Structure 1
């Protein structure tokens, strides 16, 4: 799971992704570079009226279930729900994510880097992950909208997709291991980086085409290591 990342500045996003237009630039958005759960940050989606036009939006990192009474994601019973990451293996049936997936509400989350915990020393050491080629990451995600019934305000919101990374030589080393489970059953998770030639297909392709892009990045794509104290 990824619970913090660094977003490029908006002008960098617009230049790298060749953004056609922007929308929903919230007045309460502070353009924070370090993004944490429930922060407002930029994400890229397909513009509704043009097949391959890209639109830059601002939304909450953490998808809001349709039944939630607040912008803080809650279960139907009112307890806190973590929705910054969505497991690809269950998203088609998940009450929180299935609508966004079935309606093709896929997005790209720009990240200069993202952080993951490494427990190989017996304690948490944060690692930072950048692209080896120096480009920003384009991480696969889903987005949706939620309406505040009290104010009528519409909130864009998004989640990062994750895959099992137990066999990955780098991502499989992250997160705290469960001593009760064998190495190949840990269910370590990884975000899903997209390549430049995959951006339009992810945003505008069919569900079957999008499924083929749900894969882990090769180790050669990463520039990763512990964050200096």
Structure 2
């Protein structure tokens, strides 16, 4: 799971994705869960294929009474527990109460990232690794987006999540995250985010759900420039 990444500046996003006008909303570069960050979605205006939106990193379940993602409360409880929704498992997302609406309605997005971090436990302790593209370009990560309305204030929240998939067989991504000693190497369920390539951007935003499913794939190892984060 990815829980922190570096977001490009608006001019870097404009240069890489040719989105036209910039958004007046600002964001911090070092992104963490529930921070507001930029994502690109299909524009409603016919003249533009893409538009830049700023929203919360972390999907808000439809039943939430707050923008903080929470589970459905059990009988006798006033609130559910805090949920981690910055990453969405591609396996079963079409059945997930949190993600199925966005997935089935084609609310797919591209999340710009200069780099992202993952924990490596090969030394017996957590060593953060940073992942950049080997060609120096920013990542365009596959995601979902939606909107949620605060019934108390009427405020509309845009929110988004990164899609992830199993990477147990990947020579690099299988080295990330803390291993479960009870499970064999090929059943750890190590995860990877899903980078999109330039020729896939518009298709990801506009294609059918079936076509989008076929685009979900584990990234090739030669795409990465990765190593421990320097102190």
TM-score, normalised to structure 2's length? 0.95
| In the alignment, structure 1 residue 182 sits paired with structure 2 residue 184 | yes
How many matched pairs? 225
Partner Cα separation in structure 1 for residue 191 and residue 47 of structure 2: 32
Deviates more, 1:107-116 or 1:42-51: 42-51
Q: Which residue of 2 aligns with 1:97?
A: 99
CA RMSD of aligned residues (A): 1.2
Alignment check: 8 A CA contact 2:10 2:22 kept: no
Q: Which residue of 1 aligns with 2:19?
A: 19
Partner Cα separation in structure 2 for residue 21 and residue 141 of structure 1: 22
Which one of the candidate residues 208, 211, 214 is aligned to 1:209?
211
Q: Any unmatched runs of 5+ in structure 1? A: none
| In the alignment, structure 1 residue 38 sits paired with structure 2 residue 34 | yes
Residue correspondence of structure 1 range 64-143 to structure 2 within 5 A: 64-77=60-73, 78-143=80-145
Partner Cα separation in structure 2 for residue 165 and residue 18 of structure 1: 31
Partner Cα separation in structure 1 for residue 57 and residue 168 of structure 2: 25
Which one of the candidate residues 41, 52, 58 is aligned to 1:56?
52
Q: CA deviation at 1:22?
A: 5.2
Partner Cα separation in structure 1 for residue 92 and residue 150 of structure 2: 27
Q: CA deviation at 1:49?
A: 3.5
- Local SS of the residue matching 1:212: helix
TM-score, normalised to structure 1's length? 0.95
Partner Cα separation in structure 2 for residue 139 and residue 52 of structure 1: 20
Q: Which residue of 2 aligns with 1:9?
A: 9
Alignment check: 8 A CA contact 1:20 1:53 kept: no
Question: Structure 1: which 4+ aligned runs deviate by more than 3 Å?
Answer: 20-23
Q: Any unmatched runs of 5+ in structure 2? A: 74-79
Q: CA deviation at 1:96?
A: 0.2
